[in-house]
Amino acid sequence: MSKADLLREVRVEGLSEAQATRHIEALREEIRRHDYLYYVLDRPEISDAEYDRLYDRLKQLEEAFPQLITSDSPTQRVGGQPIAGLPSHEHATAMLSLESVTDPDQVRRFDERMRKAAGGPVHYVLEPKLDGASIELVYEHGRLARAVTRGDGRVGEGVTENVKTIRSVPLRLHAAHHSVPPFVALRGEVILYVSAFEKLNRKLIESGLEPFANPRNAAAGSLRQLDPRITAERPLDLLVYEILAVRGVSFRGEDEVLDALRRWGLKLPQKIEMGEGLDDIMAYHAHWAAERDQLDFEIDGVVVKVADLALRTELGTTAHHPRWAVAFKFAPRKEVTRVEDIAVSVGRTGVLTPVALLRPVEVGGVTVSRASLHNREEVSRKDIRVGDLVRVHRAGDVIPYVVERVPEPGRKRGEPWTMPERCPACGAAVAERGPFTYCPNHFGCPAQLVGRIQHFAAKDALDIEGLGQETSAALVERKLVRRLADLFALTPEDLIPLEGFAERSARKLVEAIRRRKKVELRRFLYGLGIPEVGASVARDLAEHFGSYEAIMEASREELEQVSGIGPKMSEAIAAFFEDKRNREAIQALLDAGVEPTKAPRRLQRPLDGLTFVFTGGLERYSRDEAKRLVESLGARVASSVSRKTSYVVVGADPGSKADDARRLGVTILAEKEFDALLRKAGAGR
Instruction: Write out the catalytic residue numbers.
Output: 129
For 336, 350, 368, the CA distances from 356, given in Å and listed in that order, are 13, 19, 11
Q: Is the Cβ–Cβ distance between 189 and 238 less than 8 Å?
A: yes
Q: Is the Cβ–Cβ distance between 436 and 361 less than 8 Å?
A: no
Q: What are phi and psi of 209, to 5 degrees?
A: -105, 160
Angle between helices 623-632 and 671-680 (to 10 degrees): 30
- The DSSP line for 153-186 is SSEEEB-HHHHTT-TTS-SB---SSSPPPSEEEE
10 Å Cβ neighbour count for 412?
6
For 199, 215, 338, 403, 491, the CA distances from 361, given in Å and listed in that order, are 17, 17, 9, 15, 45
| 305: β partners | 125, 325
Roughly how many angstroms between the first and final C-alpha of the chain, as a whole number? 68
Q: Which amino acid is at 611?
A: T
- The DSSP line for 583-597 is HHHHHHHHHTT-EEE
DSSP 37: I
How buried is residue 162: exposed, middle or buried, by Cβ count under 10 Å (0-12/13-18/19+)?
buried
Q: What are phi and psi of 561, to 5 degrees?
A: -75, -15
Q: Is 629 left (phi over 0), alpha (psi -120 to 50) or beta?
A: alpha
Give the integer Cα–Cα distance in Å for 301 and 107: 13
Q: Is the Cβ–Cβ distance between 137 and 240 less than 8 Å?
A: yes
Buried b / exposed e over 435-451, threshold 16 CB at 10 Å, is: ebbbbbbbbbbbbbbbb
Q: What are phi and psi of 172, to 5 degrees?
A: -135, 130
| 275: β partners | 124
Q: Name all contacts of 679-685 with Cβ < 8 Å and 24+ positions apart.
A: 680/606, 681/606, 681/607, 681/633, 682/606, 682/633, 683/629, 683/632, 683/633, 685/620
Q: What are phi and psi of 55, to 5 degrees?
A: -60, -45
Give the integer Cα–Cα distance in Å for 225 and 219: 10
Return the half-sphere exposure (C-beta side, CA atoms, 13 A cut-off) of residue 439: 26
- The DSSP line for 448-471 is HHHHHHHHHTSTTTT--TT--HHH
How buried is residue 53: exposed, middle or buried, by Cβ count under 10 Å (0-12/13-18/19+)?
middle
Enclosing H/E stretch for 220: helix 215-223
Give the integer Cα–Cα distance in Å for 140 and 116: 39
| 394: β partners | 400
Give the integer Cα–Cα distance in Å for 562 and 102: 44
Nearest-5° angle of CA 423, CA 427, CA 431?
45
Report the candidate in 472, 417, 466, 465 with the shortest Cα–Cα distance to residue 447.
472
